[in-house]
Chain A
Amino acid sequence: MNNNILSAIFSAEFAYSVIRVTTPLLFCALAALVCNRGGVLNIAFEGCMLTAAFCGVVGSAYSQNLFVGLLAGLAGGIGIMMLMGYFNLILNANVVLTGIALNTFASGGTVFALYILCNDKGLSTSLQSLAFPNVNIPLIQDVPVLGKILSGHNVLTYVSVLCVFLVYLLIFKTPLGLRIRAVGENPSAASSVGINVTRTKFTTLFIGGLIASLGGVYMSMGYLTWFGRDMVAGRGFIGIAAQNLGNAAPMATFIAALFFGFANALSNVLQTQNIPSEAVQAIPYVATLIGLVAYSSSTRKKKTGIKQLKRRVPDGL
């Protein structure tokens, strides 16, 4: 049995599946990264992705146009993030509780709409929705082993890897990125040189919403080809943990997302083995918990007395 597992893990198929399941995590982690840099980290990515997944399916089904489906998905996801911005930045609502509300809204709202549209509360299979194609990469596909691992993925998977680079460019190489970082780190310094803090934060949320929505669209139009109730299943939270572990640096976040993807793929493989599937399915979440602790203890400075309390932000993530 052990041999079975090992050979299952050390196979090209397994590596391929790691990349496949990493994609939504990576999108979300990058979105969380951008938001963290801009001081607007929140937990509504879950709802954002779910809404995007739903809107993408519906949009593509009714237009029979992949591009329209994509736009609908992005609009839905970004809409959730803009609501986050409105309540948090304008109405001054607590960011965590607003996140809970928006996630509840997305979770109930999508099922509600799904039922209205296809009279089904679980799956959207009655809708003729479209999916993004898988593509083979010339040259690489012919390389033994590597070709099997890297080629033939969904278009959006390649987009997600491209996003690592794009997010790096955005954050570190553009004027906007500079402003996002300045606003996130020291808003009063930013406003002292004439930067509009609220507008920059909205922009950040917009970009975060855009990236996370791509992850949502991938869930229902790539990873799977239908929308299922609560199909994001905590990926929106794991993404946050991944960027925590990656310390909000694009490359490190990519690696952290791969790590969680690995845990995810591992649980998929082990489920076919004679091991309690629940133990295996819990792996990504336990890994995330361990990741959080590892991150926190690495950044914790030894302090005693009341000063330690001052730095704690009970409302944080």
Chain B
Amino acid sequence: MTKSVSKSIKTPKEVEREFDILRVLLGMTIALCIAFLIILLISKDPLGALKSFVIGPLSTLRRMGNVVEAMTPLLFTGVAVCFIFSANQTNMAVEGGFLLGALGATIGATVFHLPPVIHPLVCLLLGGLFGAFACYVPALLYVKFNSKPVVSSLMMNYICMYIALGIINHVIRDPGAGFPASYTFDETAQLARVLKGTHVHAGIFVGLVVVLVGYLYLYRSRKGYEIRMVGKNVNFAAYSGMPVNKVLMNSQLIGGFLAGMGGAVEVLGMYTRFQYQGLTGHGFDGILVGIIAGYNPAIVPLAALFLGYIRVGADVMSRMNDIPIELVSIIQSIIIVLVVAERFLYKQKHRKLVEVAHKELAREEVAANE
């Protein structure tokens, strides 16, 4: 008897989880509504613009491919952010790490000449190491000098940018390119296209492997457990005997490595030479992806797909209509603040929890009377 009753009542645990998800979904919905509103107010052809935005990405195979291409690097930076932010470190050098990773891969793909398969692997490894370096510096400054990672990682991003551009422009620049770019990559290093008629490349599979391994590491291994506990309560972690500083370094090195790998995959899959002129924004996009995913790698593909989709939608819209693609930044920022605002939906959640507590009490009384 009691069992059937308890089934109909939600436990507080379920209510909490429900509201966490609701907050994310509602945040995304509100952001999209505001975007629609802006389109309606500004566009001369609002319905056409909305149509391009919403179903544009599905209209052709090439555009569907674009969505996958856009989400591919976000899988890497998203999982990277999961690692770093799970340890409660706001190290934003994933942005610089991504670019350095692209640089590392470029060096690997132009300087070394290796057989296929091995060549891209070496490039990914190089890219990862370069990316790890970007996140390593702020992490080290924190652990050794207690210097908070926020400002230092932002500075590191600019430094990474100048390192990458400097090396491209002065060391491996192709004078014949006509614009600042590296020599072309060896064909052995480039990632294979996997879908005819699109630019979708093998990087998507590497990304999905990263998601899987990242999830297993963070949620199923002892090292991942350490990272999450240190992030949730560093005092508890130390009290339990965990090597806190090591864990902090570890999480950020992995995060940097993954971001760098993302950069490597992106250049090797999408381009034939390094031709970035500045930071790419993939790292900050990764932060949004991480936040939407609740720092859980398993949900990163969905979040990356969402961002990739609205990005391509906005791109289609900006080309067909009069709305610039920067609309995406506005959507992104609204989602971030609504998802991280603890007190957003707080009242509703509290009411629900109180209700559950009352029901629980009533049930216990009934049980006691029986």
Chain A residues in the interface with B (C-beta under 8 A): 43, 87, 90-94, 96-98, 100-102, 104-105, 107-109, 111-112, 115-116, 121, 234, 237-238, 240-241, 244, 276, 278-279, 281-282, 285-286, 288-289, 292-293, 295-297, 300, 306, 309-310, 312-317
Contacts and interface: CB of A to CB of B under 8 A. Distances in A.
A108 B291 contact: no
A224 to B, nearest CB: 18
A110 to B, nearest CB: 8
Given A87-B341, A116-B42, A312-B234, A108 B329 contact: yes
Given A111-B324, A278-B169, A96 B150 contact: yes
A112 B343 CA distance: 30
A108 B310 CA distance: 15
B165 interface: yes
B146 A115 contact: no
The dominant DSSP class at the B interface is helix
Interface in B240-278: 244
B341 A92 contact: yes
A289 B162 contact: no
The dominant DSSP class at the A interface is helix
Interface stretch (B68-76, B153-161, B207-215): B153-161
Contacts of B326: 108-109, 111-112, 115, 121
Contact of A234 (B154, B238, B330, B332): B154
Interface in B283-320: 284, 287, 291
B79 interface: no
A237 B333 contact: no
A43 B150 contact: yes
B7 interface: no
Contacts of A96: 90, 150
Given A101-B337, A115-B326, A116-B324, A309 B150 contact: no
A292 B151 contact: yes
Residue in A98, A234, A279, A314 whose Cβ sees the most chain B Cβ within 10 Å: A314
Contacts of A295: 147
A109 B148 CA distance: 29
Nearest to A293: B145
Nearest to A99: B150
Given A97-B287, A97-B336, 19 more contacts: A87-B341, A90-B343, A91-B344, A92-B342, A98-B337, A104-B332, A104-B333, A105-B334, A108-B327, A109-B326, A112-B326, A276-B166, A278-B169, A292-B152, A292-B155, A309-B244, A310-B235, A314-B88, A315-B88
A91 B341 contact: yes
Nearest to A305: B238
B155 A288 contact: yes
Contact of B340 (A94, A237, A292): A94
Contact of A43 (B137, B154, B231): B154
Given A100-B92, A241-B151, A108 B330 contact: yes
Nearest to B141: A293
A14 to B, nearest CB: 22
B287 A100 contact: yes
B151 A296 contact: no
Contact of B238 (A91, A109, A306): A306
B235 A282 contact: no
Contacts of A278: 162-163, 165-166, 169-170
Contact of B169 (A101, A276, A313): A276
Contacts of A285: 155-156, 158-159, 162
B324 A279 contact: no
A43 B151 contact: yes
Nearest to A46: B154
Contacts of A237: 151, 154-155
B336 A241 contact: no
6 contacts: A91-B343, A97-B90, A105-B334, A237-B154, A282-B163, A286-B155
Interface string B74-100: 000000000000001110100000000
B124 interface: no
A94 to B, nearest CB: 5
Contacts of B152: 289, 292
Contacts of A316: 148, 150
A109 B333 CA distance: 10
B347 to A, nearest CB: 11
Contacts of B179: none
A101 B141 contact: no
Residue in B154, B159, B165, B235 whose Cβ sees the most chain A Cβ within 10 Å: B154
A296 B343 contact: no
A289 B159 contact: yes
Contacts of A314: 88-90, 231, 234
Given A281-B162, A317-B151, A112 B336 contact: no
